[in-house]
Amino acid sequence: MDKIETILKNIEPIIMNCRKKTNIPSWQLDDYLQEGMIIALEMYHQLLLDPPDDDFNFYVYFKVRYSCFLIDQYRRNMAVKRKFDQIDYCELSEAFYLFDQNQDVSENVMYNLLCQEIHLLLSPEERELFEALKNGQKIDRNQKFRIKKKIIEYIKRFW
C-alpha cells in the first residue's frame, strides 16, 4: 500500500472522534471524511516540500488542524447572520419520518426503545394521540402540550 493510502486509512478514526466533539448540523459523514482527506493531502504535500524535524508526528498535527477547521466551520454555520437559514424546530410528525435516514443502527434501536417506553408511560387515550402525532394528524394543542410535558419529565429523570 502506498504511504498516502496508509495515512488516509489511519486518519479515519481521528475524523470520527473529531466529528463526535464538533457536530456541524448540516454535515453528513461524507462531508467530514472528505474535508479530513483534503486537509491530510494538503499537509502531506506541504511536508514533501518542506520536511520537518525528526520528532514530528503527522497524526497529532492533523488532529489539531482538523479540529480547528471543524470549529471554524461550526462557528461559520452558526453565525447570527445565518440564523435565518436554520430550522427553528422540527415538528414531531416530521421527526418520526427522519429517524431512519440519517441515523445509524444503534440510534434507531435507542429511538425504538424510547418509543416503547413512552407507550408504557402513556394512558390508552394518550397513546392514541401520540400515534396520531406520529402520523402527522392534527390534535388539540392542549392535549399535545400535556403529552409533551409528560414525555419531557420522563426523559429528564435520566439526564
From first to last of the 159 residues of the chain, give the pLDDT tens digit. Answer: 588 888 889 999 999 999 988 888 778 889 999 999 999 999 999 888 888 777 788 899 999 999 999 999 988 877 766 666 655 555 555 555 545 556 666 777 777 788 888 888 888 888 888 888 877 788 888 888 888 888 888 888 876
> What pLDDT does 32 receive?
93
Both 145 and 105 in one domain: the answer is yes
Task: Determine the structural domain holding residue 128 and report its residue range.
Answer: 92-156
Both 71 and 32 in one domain: the answer is yes
Both 98 and 77 in one domain: the answer is no
Both 107 and 142 in one domain: the answer is yes
Domain final residue, candidates 54, 69, 85: 85
Full-model pTM: 0.51
Both 12 and 77 in one domain: the answer is yes
Domain final residue, candidates 85, 108, 142: 85
Cα separation values, 46 from 5, 39, 40, 58, 95, Å: 17, 11, 10, 11, 45
Domain final residue, candidates 69, 85, 101: 85
Both 115 and 76 in one domain: the answer is no
Nearest to 25 by CA among 68, 88, 67, 81: 88
Both 80 and 144 in one domain: the answer is no
Both 81 and 7 in one domain: the answer is yes
The neighbour count for residue 116, using CB atoms within 10 Å, is 10
Both 9 and 81 in one domain: the answer is yes
